[in-house]
Structure 1
Amino acid sequence: MIDVGALRALRSVAALGTVAQAAEELGYTASAVSQQIKRLEKQLGLAVLAPAGRKVVLTPAGQVIVDAAPEVFQALERCVAAAQSVSHGTPRGTLRVVAFSTAIRGLLAPAVAGLMTRHPDVHVRIVEQDPDQALHSVDAGTADLAVVHDADELPTPLPSSLTQRLLHTDVGDVVMHRTHPLAAGDSPLTGPDLAGHAWVTSPHGTVCHQWFRRLVADVPEEPDVRHLIDDFSTQLSLVASGEVIALIPRLARPPLGEGLICRQLRRQPKREVHAAWRRSADASPALQALLSELSGRTETAAARCEGGTEAPSGA
């Protein structure tokens, strides 16, 4: 009988290329992963890995084992979910969730609070990860649920073992101090409206920086970017000085307070936020309970920006 832990270790090594990276993902030492692989080779009577420079590659036998591994893990997960469902469908156990930072703030944190109230036997463990890494973690079995966003309006490729649900469509608004010249209007802003104003933006390579570049694409002169800051709370502290304005997703935005307002954009930048999980875990009562909480929170997940002012919390 093949050891399931060893099979998971082999799959992780195959995906990441080194024993050390697989050990980090699985939470083991490199020595422990090596021992698991050796135990698997002893059980099979075949080599499953071969050295390739500083990395390792699968042997033909190892490739066959890895190709069959998803069916094994899915069958085991269905067994667990079925056993949990038999117990009157009561949600219980630990859910490992991976998500990007603003989804943790705007969606997961309030959902987990509601889950703890309604289902105290469910425990959630959250790790911040970018979408690509998050989907890999769920596919590899080291996480149970991923909350991800699309990339530059293109869906993140989904492994065939996973399914997903749309949770939220996030949009961006321009935030400024109440004394800023743009604060006096109430109609949606256009790119030319923003010409000549100083900015704090998210760093290059982020979704929000891509939003910003598209927003100012029609402005003849290069925008005056004073600061590149990844943390949105820090961006807002700079906006509060009155020197700069910022483009901030609603999902990422804490309450603005008295000194700041937001203005809608005529062409609102958008991104879709999805929950993704393994198809074999569909019957898990704990997973379905968390998904229900997440779906119930999306209507009030982010502050709204209407008519130049921010609506009250929960509106």
Structure 2
Amino acid sequence: MIEVGALRALRAVAGLGTLARAAEELGFTASAVSQQLKRLERQVGVPVIAPAGRGVVLTPAGQAIVDSAPEVFQALERCAEAAQSVSEGTPRGVLRVVAFSTAIRGLLAPTLRALATTAPELQVHLTEQDPDQALRSVEAGAADLALVHDADGLPPPLPPSLTHRHIHTDVGDLVMSRTHPLAQYSGHALAMRAESSSAIPASQLRPLTAGDLAGQAWVTSPPGTVCHQWFRRLFADVPEEPDVRHLVDDFATQLALVEAGDVIALIPRLARPPLADGLVARPLQRRPTREVRAAWRRSADASPAIQAMLTELSRGRPAS
């Protein structure tokens, strides 16, 4: 009989192309994955992989096994769900969740405290992964639930074996020093009150536009990140290149640079810790947004653990 672990290993190799990457995805060593595949070949009596440059490819027999694997995993999960349903659907055991870093900070961390009360027999294990990797982990059975975000307005493509639910809309704001000119900028209102030492009420501070940002100095996330795409889109209709002084991926470091100098930053609300007294956030007229979705295997849809997590994520959504 084919071992489930060997089947999982073959599917990971099929998706990632090398034993090393499959091992990293599954949390094993490359040697352990190799041994699983050798046992699989002995069980079926034919080779399932073949060398290809620095990686491997599936043989026709190996591909046939991978094509049949979803039905096997769905049947196994239905067995597990049936067993859990005997206990009236009480969430228990371990729920493996993979998510991007700011979702862990802004969505999952606050949810864990609520789950400790509503599902005390459930343990949640979190792993930080980018959306593409997170979806592969769930599809391969290495994780149970993924939180992913869209890329440049397009949701990540879901394999047919996965389903999803919208969880949250994240929004980007400008963060700057309270002494920065834009902190109290409100167009004509600022000119009329230039002689006043009192702060302009927040209700009179209109959202900032791309035109308001001309000539400002910036700290921003590096190219290739969603936040850098947001930043570039701010200046899509502006002929002058923005004055980028710093490229930093860590948002806490961005805030430290904002507080220390004259730069401003564009930071998603999920990534933003409580602001220091010397900092202020201002909204943009064209708010940059990204949609956060939870994804899981269709065959695990009845999982009490997954449903408990989805329920608490829905209850605990931060304000957009």
Q: Shorter-normalised TM-score: what interval?
A: over 0.9
CA distance in 2, matches of 1:55, 1:137: 20
Q: Which residue of the partner structure matches residue 262 of structure 1?
A: 281
Q: Which residue of 1 aligns with 2:124?
A: 124
Normalising by structure 1, we get a TM-score of 0.93
Look up the match of 2:314: 295
Corresponding residue for 2:29? 29
Structure 1: give runs of 5+ residues left out of the alignment.
Answer: 305-315
Task: Find the counterpart in structure 1 of residue 220 from structure 2.
Answer: 201
**Do 1:170 and 1:249's aligned partners in 2 also have CA atoms closer than 8 Å?**
yes
Q: For residue 167 of structure 2, what is the aligned residue in structure 1?
A: 167
Alpha-carbon distance in structure 1 between the residues aligned to 2:295 and 2:107: 14
* Higher Rg: 2
Q: Distance in 1 between matches of 2:102 and 2:132?
A: 16
Identity within the alignment, % = 75
Name the residue aligned to 1:59. 59
The answer for the alignment partner of 1:102 in structure 2 is 102
SS in 2 for 1:196: coil
Structure 2 gaps of 5+ residues are 187-204
Task: Tell me if the contact between 1:82 and 1:284 (Cα under 8 Å) persists in the aligned partners.
Answer: no
- Report what 1:3 is aligned to: 3
- Alpha-carbon separation, structure 2, partners of 1:294 and 1:276: 13
Q: Which residue of 1 aligns with 2:292?
A: 273
Provide TM-score, normalisation by structure 2. 0.92
* Corresponding position: 1:187 with 2:206: yes
Q: Residues 93-142 of structure 1: CA distance to partner in whole angstroms, max 9, x if unpaired?
A: 10111100110000000011111122111001111110000000000000
User: Partners of 2:25 and 2:283 in 1: how far apart?
Assistant: 41
Q: 2:31, 2:234 → 1: CA distance? A: 50
2:265 paired with 1:246 = yes
- Report the Cα distance in structure 1 between the residues aligned to 2:85 and 2:99, rounded to whole angstroms: 26
**2-side partners of 1:211 and 1:247: how far apart?**
8
Please say if residues 175 and 260 of structure 1, whose CA atoms lie closer than 8 Å, have aligned partners that are also in contact.
yes
Aligned length: 301
Q: Supply the RMSD in Å over aligned alpha carbons.
A: 1.1
Residue of structure 2 equivalent to 1:286: 305
In the TM superposition, residue 31 of structure 1 has moved relative to its aligned partner by 2.0
Partner SS, residue 260 of structure 2: coil
> Structure 1 residue 48: deviation in Å?
1.0
